[in-house]
Amino acid sequence: MALKLPIYFDHNATTPVDRRVFEAITPYLTEHFGNAASRNHPFGWKAEAGVENARRQIADLLGATPKDIVLTSGATEADNLAIKGVARMYRDKGNHIITCVSEHKAVIDPCKRLAEEGFDVTWLTPDEFGRVSPEQVSDAITDQTILISIMGANNEVGSINPIAAIGRIARDRGVFFHTDATQAVGKIPINVDEMCIDLLSMSAHKIYGPKGVGCLYVRRRNPRVRLRCQMDGGGHERGMRSGTLNVPGIVGLGQACSIAAIEMSDETQRLTALRDRLQAGISAGLDFVTLNGHPTERLAGTANLSFAYVEGEALMMKMKDIAVSSGSACTSASLEPSYVLRSMGVSDELAHSSIRFSLGRSTTIEEVDYVVAQVIKAVIELRELSPLYELAMENTDSTTSA
């Protein structure tokens, strides 16, 4: 089979809609177009049935019950609802929140907003692998702590946090535990009861579902979590999130969860092998390559690599037919290195040279081998222009000869 260009290695950013998901959605765009809140005619009943089936599919993937699932426009809304909702509902019990500096902005920014409102936020620092330890969380808890929010897996480096251990600590100390599991759901097994998770955010478009839909798992008992709603206007979703339900999107989210539940184990093995082939191939052809993130406790499809003496943005420009992500973010004034990598202790120079490769369901061996060859070629060409690389090689040669 001929290689098709361009190649997509940016699945942590978004995924294509799976054909099976698309087929499940289509009837709800045309034939079953009713409003799920219209309960006095068959059009509404059919839409509501699609929504409730999707709730079951989502709940099954998480080890939850359908009534625990609050449907949202995506993980960002779910994060906001969880963090602000808990903080404002339980403010009379405490004003302390624990999170991490390497969280997604959808968690960081709501926490900053709450800090402006007078809440006390503890910002934990991850270790060199991008992980938060249960001991860090335990040490940060006070008698005023009402919420802990730690992500399941990091979007930039793929490192997986010990959320089950953190969840047990939160439960033992009587603190609600929220996890932004946007990158983790569908890639690693999650059971909200076994992991003592009280709130969990996720998004469809990270697991081959459509954009613009997600959900928040909210524990209803042992303990019951109550939220102050962030959007008023009709009392939808148990009064937690008003707005006409996106029926086609929700059906797509449910179908994506159902497929993930069936295929996750085999896909994890396949992607791990492809990821390791990518890393080994690049490392065999280049020196001064560093892996960012945990070597084993990491998402199967994610490899964040730093190429010393090469600028990440320049490397991306060299590989125009490969879609990857850089460790730098363009701002109006400067090119800032990734805050996630900096929080792990990665130097600005290496952070600027990082590339995130995130593989997915459609990734093939042929694509991996092509990307390996193109990365090696591009890095070699860029390093030929770097006096710092030449100096490093001279130092290496002198050390070796000595």
Looking at the structure, tell me whether residues 237 and 293 fall in a common domain. Answer: no
Structure confidence by residue, pLDDT tens digits, 369-386:
999 999 999 999 999 998
Question: Which residues contact residue 394 at a Cβ distance below 8 angstroms, ignoring those fewer than 6 apart?
Answer: none
Structure confidence by residue, pLDDT tens digits, 167-201:
999 999 999 999 999 999 999 999 999 999 999 99
Looking at the structure, tell me whether residues 253 and 113 fall in a common domain. Answer: yes
Share of the chain above pLDDT 70, in %: 96
What is the C-alpha separation between 178 and 198, in angstroms, rounded?
6
Q: Quickly list H helices, 286-338.
A: 312-318
Q: What is the CATH number of the domain that holds 355?
A: 3.90.1150.10
Structure confidence by residue, pLDDT tens digits, 261-298:
999 999 999 999 999 999 999 999 999 999 999 999 99
Segments of 182-271 assigned E as strands: 199-203, 214-218
Q: Which of 239, 260, 281 is the last residue of a domain?
A: 260
Structure confidence by residue, pLDDT tens digits, 250-261:
999 999 999 999
Size (the chain), residues = 402
In this prediction, residue 332 carries a pLDDT of 38
Is 1 inside any structural domain?
no
What mean pLDDT is predicted for residues 347-357? 96
Task: Give 97's pLDDT tier (boundaries 50, 70, 90).
Answer: very high
Report residue 326 as tokens. 């850089």
Structure confidence by residue, pLDDT tens digits, 19-36:
999 999 999 999 999 999
Looking at the structure, tell me whether residues 32 and 56 fall in a common domain. Answer: yes
Looking at the structure, tell me whether residues 221 and 104 fall in a common domain. Answer: yes
The catalytic residue positions are: 330
Task: Give 142's pLDDT tier (boundaries 50, 70, 90).
Answer: very high
Q: What is the CATH number of the domain that holds 127?
A: 3.40.640.10
Looking at the structure, tell me whether residues 183 and 43 fall in a common domain. Answer: yes
**Which one-letter amino acid corresponds to residue 1?**
M
In this prediction, residue 291 carries a pLDDT of 98
Distances (CA, A) of 352 to 90, 196, 330, 332: 41, 37, 11, 17
Is 359 inside any structural domain?
yes
- Supply the pTM of this predicted model: 0.95
In this prediction, residue 111 carries a pLDDT of 98
What is the C-alpha separation between 65 and 271, in angstroms, rounded?
30
Q: Which of 226, 260, 294 is the last residue of a domain?
A: 260
Is 307 inside any structural domain?
yes
Res 398 pLDDT > 60: no
